Amino acid sequence: MPSNDKNTIRRIIRRKKSGYAIGFTLCLIGLIFLSAVLWKAWPNVSASHDVFSALESYLWTKQFDFGFGIGLKLMHLAIMGAAALFSGIFVLALSRQVFFVSGENVLLKCPYCKNNWKARRAKGFAECPYCRQFVQPAVMRPRYPAA
């Protein structure tokens, strides 16, 4: 249970929807490619004693036909699937932004009436308690005495 200290720091996580959509799409494409490679190769490779070397030789020799005369070697398809999967994970990781906001009071200044007031934290927009305008207040920095 969080305490109500003035010095508590809250964590805010912001997720970008476009980043999540692109990341999940790339992950899905990568998983489809990798499952297609495994679906095509597993029946011929599973009977071997050394599965990994048999899988590697099978991926370099066999081809996956998409139709219309278009085909790729299974190894190229596996590399593209792994690249799409890892880039999707990378985009998903970068589409999150984490902000740390202190719980102490800050001094805000109204751009219209130039009055200052204290608030719990700096928000994007707030209502000035003096002129009752809905404004984007400026955060005032505390003045420290010269040493």
Residue with tokens 């902000």: 99
The confidence score (pLDDT) of residue 9 equals 63
Q: Taking the domains of the chain in order of start, what are their residue ranges? A: 11-99, 104-140
Q: Are 26 and 91 in contact (CB under 8 A)?
A: yes
Provide DSSP, 117-140: EEESS--SSEE-TTT--EE-PEEE
pLDDT of residue 32: 95
Neighbours of 98 (CB within 10 A): 8
Q: Which pLDDT score, from 0 to 100, does residue 1 have?
A: 43
| Interacting residues of 143 by C-beta distance below 8 A, sequence separation 6+ | none
Question: Structure pTM?
Answer: 0.58
Task: Encode the chain (147 residues) as per-residue pLDDT tens digits.
Answer: 454 555 566 677 778 889 999 999 999 999 999 998 889 888 888 888 888 888 888 888 888 777 788 888 889 899 999 999 999 999 999 988 777 666 667 788 888 898 888 877 666 777 888 888 888 888 776 655 554
HSE value, Cβ hemisphere, 13 Å, CA-based, for 137: 27
